[in-house]
Amino acid sequence: MTELNQQTTYDDNNIFAKMLNGDIPYHKVYEDDKSLAFMDIMPQAEGHVLVIPKQKAVDLADLEPEYAAAVLMTSKKVMQAQRQVFEREGIIQMQLNGAQAGQTVFHYHIHLIPSSIHELGRHAAVMADQEQLANLAKQLAAVIDAE
Ligand code: AMP
């Protein structure tokens, strides 16, 4: 019960809050006034992107309607760009609620992973090459910008 209470309180110092504040670097794919998409630093497949709301939401329980709409519409843009860049139809959309489900960063986020449920790599296990992430972010951003 104690653990559950800790999770439901938003921590202003979580890593994604720091990104939104401009305190730590990340590889941006897309941004609008209510959402941000960036490369996952420990991808479960090449091209793994995270989409977050610009709202202090721990998980789905906290998400307000306009931010829910924003993260989904941004996810749609990112997924369409992933389909083009990686020349594959299959993109996993995943979102974990609570430590018990495996959530490790307590700011709501959607995972978009160019992979298959049968081939998905381990969760948050291996750090990606930064140059490669920057290059992928650039390719995805270019496709979104062109639409
Ligand atoms: P979850 O376990 O669903 O909370 O997912 C958190 C995700 O955040 C994992 O896939 C991590 O690889 C990713 N992650 C953690 N720190 C960073 C970071 N600094 N930049 C980008 N992604 C991160």
Domain for residue 8, yes or no? no
Q: What is the pLDDT of residues 58-67, one digit of tens each?
A: 999 999 999 9
Domain for residue 9, yes or no? no
Q: What is the pLDDT of residues 9-30, one digit of tens each?
A: 999 999 999 999 999 999 999 9
Catalytic residues, by residue number, are 109
Domain for residue 2, yes or no? no
- Evaluate whether 43 touches 53 at the Cβ level (below 8 Å): no
Ligand 1 geometric centre to CA of 67 (Å):
20
CA distances 140 to 23, 30, 55, 125, 134, Å, are: 23, 9, 24, 23, 10
Domain for residue 3, yes or no? no
- Evaluate whether 49 touches 81 at the Cβ level (below 8 Å): no
Report whether pLDDT(145) > 80: yes
pTM: 0.95
Q: Say what the pLDDT of residue 4 is.
A: 53
Q: What is the pLDDT of residues 97-127, one digit of tens each?
A: 999 999 999 999 999 999 999 999 888 889 9
Residue 1, token pair as written in the block: 């019960």
Ligand 1 geometric centre to CA of 107 (Å):
10
Residue-number span of the structural domain to which 37 is assigned: 15-146
**Substitution candidate for ligand 1 out of 59, 104, 109, 111 with most atoms within 8 A of CB:** 104
- Evaluate whether 55 touches 20 at the Cβ level (below 8 Å): no
Pocket around ligand 1 at a 6 A CB cut-off? 15, 26, 40-42, 50, 96, 102-105, 124
- In this prediction, residue 40 has a pLDDT band, given cuts at 50, 70 and 90, of very high
Domain for residue 65, yes or no? yes
Considering its fold, how many domains does the chain have in total? 1
93 CB-near residues (< 8 Å, 6+ apart): 75, 79, 110, 111, 112
Q: What is the pLDDT of residues 46-94, one digit of tens each?
A: 999 999 999 999 999 999 999 999 999 999 999 999 999 999 999 999 9
Domain for residue 10, yes or no? no
Q: Which helix (H) or strand (E) holds 83?
A: helix 65-85
Return the SS3 of 29: strand
Q: Say what the pLDDT of residue 1 is.
A: 45
> What is the bridge-based pairing of β-strands 110-113 and 35-39?
unpaired
Report whether pLDDT(2) > 80: no
CATH number at residue 86: 3.30.428.10
State whether the Cα torsion 103-31-48-17 is positive or negative: negative
